Amino acid sequence: MFLIKNMIILILLITNLMILISLIISKKNNFDQEKMSPFECGFDPKSLTRLPFSIQFFIITIIFLIFDVEISIILPLIFSIKLTNMMSWYVMASVFISILLLGIMYEWYQNLLNWKF
Mean pLDDT by groups of 10 residues along the chain of 117 residues: 90 94 76 62 60 75 82 82 86 89 87 70
pLDDT of residue 9: 94
How far apart, in Å, are the Cα atoms of 29 and each of 16, 17, 32, 37? 20, 20, 9, 15
d(CA 27, CA 38) in angstroms, rounded, equals 20
Q: What is the pLDDT of residue 50?
A: 63
With 0-12 / 13-18 / 19 or more C-beta atoms within 10 angstroms meaning exposed / middle / buried, residue 112 is middle
